[in-house]
Amino acid sequence: MTLLDDVEAQLQLDNQLCFKLYAASRAVTRAYKPMLDELGLTYPQYLAMLVLWEWQANPPAQPTVKALGERLLLDSGTLTPLLKRLEQLGLVLRQRSPQDEREVHLRLSEAGVALRQRVLPLKGRLLCDSGFDLAELEGLRHSLGGLLERLTALS
């Protein structure tokens, strides 16, 4: 194999880690879609709800839109319409801070709290249907977490 062959191989789509991550992410989102359709949520809304459920058990000092954006690695331009929709669905309550009206605090409504109980069996069903070994998935999650941490540190 020549150096030119190596360069050509490096540029093939199937040899790109970024493509594999992108395609896997889309496949995971597609796999979640039937479950999320039952809940009336989109995948980004589901991720926001996961954080809000975490916060219910262990709240941050400031449960704000900004803190949620930092946790999800999303900007406020993406989060604002997502949170408006969750509020319209009756799952989330948003309230401006009396001290600083630029700061918007978040909390779950009763319906948002109750939705968590509906997610648990669906999530289990999704994992069972996938056919993956749980240890294999945990290893992959750990590896991707390390990759994300390194890449986030670069920016």
Instruction: Using pLDDT thresholds of 50, 70 and 90, give the confidence band for residue 62.
Output: confident
Residue 73 has pLDDT above 90, yes or no: yes
Q: Amino acid identity of 130? A: S
How many C-beta atoms lie closer than 10 Å to residue 80's C-beta?
14
Instruction: Using pLDDT thresholds of 50, 70 and 90, give the confidence band for residue 4.
Output: low
The 3-state DSSP class for residue 130 equals helix
How high is the pLDDT of residue 50?
A: 95
Interval 133-148 mean pLDDT? 88
How high is the pLDDT of residue 76?
A: 86
Q: How far apart are the first and last CA of the chain?
A: 36
The 3-state DSSP class for residue 111 equals helix
Residue 73 tokens, joined? 């690695």
Residue 147 has pLDDT above 60, yes or no: yes
How high is the pLDDT of residue 125?
A: 75
Domains of the chain and CATH, by start: 37-128 (1.10.10.10)
Distances, alpha carbon 26 to alpha carbons 23, 32, 60, in Å = 5, 10, 30
